[in-house]
Amino acid sequence: EMDDQSTVGGDSTDDKGNASPSRTHYVSIRQDDKDRLCPGQFLNDSLVDFWMRWISRGEPQGKDSDVHFFTSHFMTTLKKDGPKAVYSWTAKKNIDVFKKKFIFVPVNADLHWSLCVVVNPGLIANTFEDALVPMTAEHPCILFLDSLKMHSKHNYAKHIRKWLNFQWKRLGKGKVHGVTPFRDDTMRLKSPKIPYQENGCDCGVFVCRYAYNLYKMKHLKFTWDDITEDKPLRTLITCNPAFEFDMADIARIRGEIETLIDNLSKLYLRIKEQEKAKKRAKRQAIESYKTSEKNASSSNSSTENASEEVANAASRDKDSRSETKLAASEENGGPAGSIEGATVVTKDEDGDVIMSPSEEKENILQQEVVVQEKNTSEIVAPEKLASKMENTSSDIPEDGENKNQ
């Protein structure tokens, strides 16, 4: 995906100038975009931006790249709102455009595509020192490639020079020989002869082909001789085998871009599925960890509760066994309520007295003695019983006496 301030190329940096991969440096191609690759259809900005990004995929990340690709929104914003409106497009990413060999600026206006390329902007001082700089040394210029010669190249070049002067001042480079460096006579506009389209719908494909060919030429020198020859850049561009293509090549490129998108889509979907699988595995690991932690906490809680119950039972047993009652024992010589001579009685939970085996045996013997004493008091000796019976019988009157009386 790509926002309005994103660039297609190797300058993916954060505010501090460090390499910072971001989703804003991806180009999203949807099915309706892909349908525009069919014959007779116009390419939109998503397809052109995608192509620029693709051909520069090998560029180093950060500020080390010697080329820079703007999106198609750059020129639209620059032309409408001026250089300040696009200030952050380079300042935020800490990009020094004067260290670039090529700066690609796609132009999309009035249902037509063209390509503007800034060449060697950092060598602008060479144009002020003709006597000191050899003709074979590299020089700066602006290239404008238009497959229908439809756009006003001078108008777009004017906006480019204004932006370059703004950037020159922003970076504190000062004036060159006391004047503003980028002017018509110092930063010349050149439109070399190139293949042109034969229909009204392939301008976007031509821009893609122009950009690819020039990108492959970035190692070549653009000298003053090349720029100022009778047919500008005839040797370097017009007669270059890379620019010898026709409408059949343009049709083939449409198909190749479509195949490229299909292949990248399969790879992208596979990578996304792998990312989803990793996320699912991570979530499952987290959930498993939480579950094990919860189970461990529950187990520890159960163990603690069981231990607490055991401790409470032991405490209750200890309390029941240690419950004491101080009873006064007069027989032992101690008054009631005093410790001296008191009898210590231990009771269980039901209130029954708990005795040791020796105490229990002694208690049983005492009970037997009490029973025996009770029984003995009720038993009469045989000799006394006989004497008693005799006394009783002597007191009973005889029958005759009773009758007489």
**Residue 121 in contact with residue 100, Cβ under 8 Å?**
yes
Distance CA(120)–CA(67), nearest Å, equals 10
Say yes or no to pLDDT of 390 above 70: no
- Residue 81 amino acid letter: D
Q: Residue 357: its pLDDT value, please? A: 62
Instruction: Annotate 275-327 with three-state secondary structure.
Output: HHHHHHHHHHHHHHHHHHHHHHHHHHHHHHHHHHHHHHHHHHHHHHHHCEEEE
Per-residue tokens: 272? 């996304």
pLDDT in tens, 118-138: 999 999 988 887 657 788 889
Say yes or no to pLDDT of 156 above 80: yes
CA-closest candidate to residue 74, choices 137, 13, 158, 163: 163
The H or E element that residue 155 is part of is helix 153-170
pLDDT in tens, 201-223: 999 999 999 999 999 999 999 99
Neighbours of 252 (CB within 10 A): 12
**Residue 188 in contact with residue 222, Cβ under 8 Å?**
no
Greater pLDDT, 333 or 57? 57
Distance CA(25)–CA(1), nearest Å, equals 6
Distance CA(143)–CA(245), nearest Å, equals 19
State the Cα angle at 192 between 190 and 196, rounded to 5°.
130
| Backbone torsions φ then ψ of 144, nearest 5 degrees | -130, 115
Neighbours of 347 (CB within 10 A): 14
Q: Would you place residue 7 in the very low, low, confident or very high pLDDT band (cuts 50, 70, 90)?
A: very low
Say yes or no to pLDDT of 386 above 60: no
Distance CA(41)–CA(251), nearest Å, equals 11
Which regions of 74-181 does DSSP assign to beta strands (E)? 102-109, 112-119, 141-145
Across 326-332, average pLDDT: 44
The answer to pTM > 0.75 is no
**Residue 148 in contact with residue 244, Cβ under 8 Å?**
no
Strands across the sheet with 189-190, in order? 67-69, 102-109, 112-119, 141-145, 189-190
